[in-house]
Structure 1
């Protein structure tokens, strides 16, 4: 893993831990042109796992996980993210699979990641 990927993953992990009480246990990130694509595993807290035992709970956890992250990034990128990539953050696309405890985020930047 390159230092850039390691540093990028560290920023993502710390943000999610601070916001949600638990960061992902494993993150796999690839840089492709002007995008960083991150797959994250082991995200859910014990409370979220308990809530997700029903279909309504799964919907609630999914909505909270996706909307909160998207709202945070829409306000401002995490500190250091643009420094690591050498590009300005533009958009975040994200989704969360509750049953698999897996998240995927696509970070779009204004130019290819150096």
Structure 2
């Protein structure tokens, strides 16, 4: 598979994971592979209730705490979704949410340089 095909399949797998584990999928998703790093950018994943909560500082903190807890609880499933597309050993996984833009970034560090064995 080419790099673009793998990135596309990773986006599909992560979107499916988000729907199954988090209750809804993103409006847009983009995955980029850079050496030993996989970056996933999800847009439009906040619910209407979360958007409303994000209007206050306490609401923002609550959204972040809940989203972090949900992500940590489902981390294994996310890593399995990645491994279903590309056979890699995952070193660490990070996630953060922007309540301002409604975006979520997931960064996954893997054991090897993925790009070395890919076709552009």
TM-score range, shorter chain: 0.7 to 0.9
* Partner deviation per Cα, 1:44-68 (whole Å, 9 max, x = no partner): 0112122222221111111211332
Kept in 1, the 8 Å contact 2:92–2:109? The answer is: yes
Larger gyration radius, structure 1 or structure 2: 2
Structure 2 equivalent of residue 108 of structure 1: 109
Q: TM-score, normalised by structure 1?
A: 0.85
Structure with the largest fraction of helix? 2
Partner of 2:96: 95
TM-score by length of structure 2 reads 0.81
Give 1:107 deviation, angstroms.
0.6
Q: How many residues align?
A: 113
Give the distance between the partners of 1:105 and 1:46, measured in 2 at CA. Answer: 22
The residue aligned with 2:43 is: 41
SS in 2 for 1:2: helix
RMSD: 1.9
